Chain A
Amino acid sequence: MTTTEKPNIQEHLVSILESVADPEIPVLSVLDLGVIREAVEVEGMVQIKLSPTYSGCPATDMMASDIKAAFAQKGKKARVDLVLAPAWTTDWMSEKGKQKMEAYGIAPPLEPLADKEALLGNQKLVKCPQCGSTNTHLVSQFGATACKALFQCDNCQEPFDYFKCLK
């Protein structure tokens, strides 16, 4: 189970994929999210391998159709296949993506150990994306979507989503 392998994405397809946003977190592109595992053009057909974040994520089907639409706009045909293994991990999210996520108001995932401590309420490690304080507490392990937990800042009192570490 290797989870660190680099995706095989052809250079000339990058800009098109960058234009496709995550329907739930529109500041992130599908590349920032790390769900594209392969994008190659073979005989006029772009073949994409998409790794869903969570099994039941309703955004997956939408991403697939948005990707096809983006390529269609550029006059290219695309086929999107779902791949389950190796399973998606928050490690595949780009650093740039994590910064954009924080600026958007969602705390990006911590390292696995820190994540566990934070979700068990043992340590205050999740940083409030509004004021930057780590004086925050867990409200619920499941937030607006399965990939996020709900937190509240005890400094500025703002509630916010934390993107859970998945590894």
Chain B
Amino acid sequence: MDSKQRSNYVTSIADNHLILGQRLGELCGHGPNLETDIALTNIALDLFGQTRSYYQYAAQLDDAFASEDAVAFLRKEHEYHNVLLVEQPNTHFGFVIGRQFLFDAYHLLLLEQLQYSADATLAAIAQKAIKEVRYHQRFSSDWLKRLGDGTEKSRKKMQEAIDALWRYTDELFEMTPIDQLAVDAGIGVDLHALRPMYYQKISEVLEEATLVLPETNYFQKGGKQGRHTEHMGYLLADLQYMQRTYPNMDW
């Protein structure tokens, strides 16, 4: 695995966090109540912090990127390799919690492996992030249970979100050629190995939330190859606006 491929691997991990952080950031000032608003934006902030660590490293590895900002803001849609799950919109609060819950369970499993990466920088980022993501998972699981095991209306809406988002879960475990190269080099995570643990974990929490495990064999994929859902373009227009309007702007 050469350093450009390594850079691509690091970027593909971080893209998930950037895009999910952007979705959560949209809720800043729009959360259902003050505490939830603050919690969701705090989670976004953690994700952006992790994204910066990954992108800074990716930029070091690949001369094609001048800076972390160039990685984050100046790519085209098909150059982002995030999974489809994280770009799904904040349709209602059930979707926000459902998307977070389905991602957090994956994120924690990924970091638990990545902290043993033979790549010292990746391992360090993972060791730091894992402490933060444990809080994210606790938050999203608690809300999932509260809404699922709540009123008739909250349960219905939570189930609706899980049913709608379920089709994006399998993609989390898809291995791209870059993922495979990273595993072979001892720096990456074997995603196939995480799949059974993931579904085991989330079905336990869904059961506790009195929600029904969706029975579907249809899974939508493509994000990892840069083929995104319709929502992605709008998200990027928002995300990239400042950097494209005022090139090289800085805070």
Which residues of chain A have a CB within 8 Å of any CB of chain B? 1, 52, 54-58, 84-88, 119, 139-146, 150, 164, 166-167
Contacts and interface: CB of A to CB of B under 8 A. Distances in A.
Interface residues of B, number: 28
B46 A146 contact: yes
B77 interface: no
Contact of B131 (A56, A140, A166): A166
Contacts, number: 72
B53 A146 contact: no
Nearest to B57: A84
A146 B131 contact: no
Contacts of B48: 56
B226 interface: no
A146 B42 contact: yes
Given A55-B128, A86-B127, A164-B135, 7 more contacts: A55-B129, A57-B45, A57-B49, A85-B127, A141-B139, A142-B35, A167-B131
Contacts of B38: 140, 142-144
B132 A140 contact: no
Contacts of B53: 55, 84
Nearest to B123: A85
A58 B42 CA distance: 11
A146 B134 CA distance: 13
Dominant secondary structure of chain A at its interface with chain B: loop
Contact of B50 (A55, A143, A167): A55
B58 to A, nearest CB: 15
A55 to B, nearest CB: 3
Contact of A146 (B45, B127, B138, B142): B45
Contacts of B125: 55, 84
> Would you list the 3 A-B pairs with minimal beta carbon distance, nearest first?
A56-B49, A55-B49, A85-B124
B120 interface: yes
B132 A146 contact: yes
Contacts of A166: 131
B206 interface: no
Given A84-B125, A84-B127, A56 B35 contact: no
Residue with the highest number of chain B CB atoms closer than 10 Å, among A56, A87, A141, A143: A56
